[in-house]
Amino acid sequence: MEILKDVEIVDGYPALYLKKLETLVIADLHLGFEWAIAQEGIFIPTTQYQEIFKDLQHLLEEKQPELLIINGDLKHEFSKATSQEWREVIDLLTYLDKNVKKTIVIRGNHDNFIRGFFKRYNNVEFVEPYLQLENYLLTHGHKEIEEDILTREKYDLLIIAHEHPAILLIDDLGAKIKTRAFLHGKTKQEKEIIVLPAFSPLATGVEINLTPQEELLSPILREYVDIMQLEVYAISKKTETLKFPKLALWHSLTHL
Ligand SMILES: [Mn+2]
């Protein structure tokens, strides 16, 4: 579904496609998530990588992009690298190096101890904290960004991640469905902004329709956006992308 000129959500997937640049954008893979939570005594099946790999392979075959951008949080664990995490990171980057013309990973808050890895690849790069391509500015979104970057004329669309936006729908019988979602609107500086959902199927994230603005994770969303004016696009593998009205209207309907 096209949400801006030359910018489309790939239906069924937490992925954005920038047509003019033939560029696929994803974020928040959080590889190694299962091992990190196992350290805290929570054990879940270790199937995330297979699912991420299958989805990404499908997207790369469908779009044949010139460039793949991973907008932060390729991996999960903060402090020490677990061996599982590294196996998955190396396996994925090796695949991308061979099968995609170029891949750029933008540093997220979980991407520590990783820079050295990129030296071994010819077609995979690591950058921080921003990447600007023509009129698009991409950054993970965990840090404040300087006012001059927000206001400068050189770009029209800011693409962030980090928030892992999702919506929670509750039917009359109380059944709950949580689904990952894109957010789209304008910053207070009148730039277009898109927030990517997590590519990780396990990190479904923040229920944007139930969370007050001041409790959001990204300082960019907390400070430079009126979240009530954002439109929500829910992704579902079974249907097309579902467009919801602005959060303001939604709140007025559900908070009677
Ligand atoms: Mn993050």
**CATH 3.60.21.10 for the 2-254 domain, yes or no:** yes
Query: What percent of the chain lies above the pLDDT cut of 70?
Result: 96
Distance in Å, CA 110 to ligand 1 centroid: 6
Residue-range domain boundaries for the chain: 2-254
Beta strands in 34-175 (DSSP E): 67-70, 103-106, 124-127, 130-133, 136-139, 157-160, 165-170
Distance in Å, CA 72 to ligand 1 centroid: 6
Distance in Å, CA 134 to ligand 1 centroid: 24
Please give the residue that has the higher pLDDT: either 146 or 56: 56
Distance in Å, CA 173 to ligand 1 centroid: 34
77-89 pLDDT, tens digit per residue, is 866 666 777 889 9
| pLDDT(249) > 90 | no
136-192 pLDDT, tens digit per residue, is 999 999 988 777 777 777 899 999 999 999 998 887 788 888 899 999 999 998 999
15-54 pLDDT, tens digit per residue, is 999 999 999 999 999 998 888 888 888 888 888 999 999 9
Mean pLDDT value of segment 91-115: 94
Residue in the block written with tokens 């109380």: 174
The confidence band for 255, taking pLDDT boundaries of 50, 70 and 90, is: low
Distance in Å, CA 203 to ligand 1 centroid: 11
Question: What whole-number distance in Å separates Cα of residue 71 and Cα of residue 142?
Answer: 11
Distance in Å, CA 75 to ligand 1 centroid: 10
Question: What whole-number distance in Å separates Cα of residue 48 and Cα of residue 33?
Answer: 8
Q: Are the CB atoms for 52 and 15 separated by under 8 Å?
A: no
pLDDT at site 214: 93
